[in-house]
């Protein structure tokens, strides 16, 4: 099942996608798609619906994040062997984890370049959405805790990440640096999360073309591993790393500028398209749950 939310920021309605690619309204069944919706029992109830009986939304307009109340936004660095090779990094012995501070935005919402940034970069990633509380889970059971999958664009500011000291978080958590969606595809509709093609283009030029097959630590291992350090709750989102082709890896490096358009997708999970904007506090406030400030 492909779950989604449509409408203006802060006023999204619940929906799903039918077999013909049309948005169907779930408002008669749910007030919203949130962390509670992601439990196995709730998803089973939704999957029992006859989607063809739901109202068609003729003009859904903007898509928001596919569920509200996204919890911890945990990311994995250097998790593709071919991406590690392009950066000249050693293969990690254990997953590299960092947090994304960004308020997640819709799949086609604007991305705002931080004030003074000259090294804003792109990363198409598979997002793993937790549906059941997970603590110290075994590797064999790990996928049972996954509600579904989605696309994440782990937009990154490389100077902040690599040249300003401290952890990676400051280059990963800038406002609007977390587009999520367009859909949450339930786990039963993703037979093998380790066999998904993925790609990203900037201004029509393809830079990233890869597959989840080259993950160093697969989805099951990541859920198992992360649950050894923190309890994962329904709605937590794990962004699992990116294949080669990021701007940092080009020779010479290529970075994003105002007016550029990112277009990205993962097999079976849909596509995203974002336009880059120069720093704009008004635009940021409109995309955030709370005012961003000056």
State residue 163's pLDDT score: 92
Give the SS3 label for residue 165: coil
The predicted pLDDT at position 294 comes to 29
pLDDT at 247: 96
Q: What is the 3-state secondary structure (H, E, C) of 99-139?
A: ECCCCCECCCCCEECCCCCCCEECCEEEEEEECCCECCCCC
Q: What is the pLDDT of residue 83?
A: 81
Query: CB under 8 Å to 34, separation ≥6 — which residues?
Result: 67, 68, 69, 235
What is the per-residue pLDDT for 227? 98
Domains (range + CATH), the chain: 69-287 (3.90.850.10)
CA 50 to chain centroid, in Å, comes to 28
pTM of the model: 0.95
Residues of the chain with pLDDT under 50: 289-294
Cis status of the peptide bond prior to 182, with omega within 30 of 0: yes
Provide the pLDDT for residue 167.
85
pLDDT recorded at residue 293: 34
């Amino acid at each position: 099942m492909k779950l989604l939310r449509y409408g203006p920021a802060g006023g999204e309605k619940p929906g799903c996608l039918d077999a013909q690619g049309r948005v169907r309204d779930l408002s008669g069944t749910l007030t919203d798609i949130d962390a509670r919706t992601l439990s196995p029992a709730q998803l089973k109830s939704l999957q029992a619906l006859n989607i063809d009986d739901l109202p068609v939304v003729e003009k859904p307009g903007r898509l928001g994040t596919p569920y509200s109340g996204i919890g911890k936004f945990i990311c994995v660095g250097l998790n593709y062997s071919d991406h590690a090779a392009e950066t000249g990094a050693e293969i990690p012995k254990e997953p590299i984890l960092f947090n994304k501070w960004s308020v997640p935005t819709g799949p086609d919402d604007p991305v705002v370049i931080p004030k003074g940034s000259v090294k804003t970069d792109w990363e198409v990633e598979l997002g793993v959405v937790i549906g059941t509380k997970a603590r110290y889970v075994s590797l064999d059971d790990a996928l049972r805790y996954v509600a579904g999958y989605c696309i994440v664009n782990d937009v990154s500011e490389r100077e902040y990440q690599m040249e300003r000291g401290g952890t990676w978080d400051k280059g990963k958590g800038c406002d609007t640096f977390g587009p999520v969606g367009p859909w949450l595809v339930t786990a039963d509709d993703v037979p093998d999360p380790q066999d998904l093609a993925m790609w990203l283009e900037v201004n029509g030029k393809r830079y990233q073309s890869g597959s989840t097959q080259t993950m160093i630590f697969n989805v099951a291992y990541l859920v198992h591993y992360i649950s050894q350090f923190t309890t994962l709750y329904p709605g937590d989102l794990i962004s699992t790393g990116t294949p080669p082709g990021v701007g940092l890896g080009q020779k010479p490096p290529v970075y994003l500028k105002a007016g550029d358009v990112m277009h990205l997708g993962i097999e079976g999970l849909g596509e995203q398209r974002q336009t880059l904007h120069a720093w704009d506090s008004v635009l940021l406030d409109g995309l955030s749950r709370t005012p961003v400030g000056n």
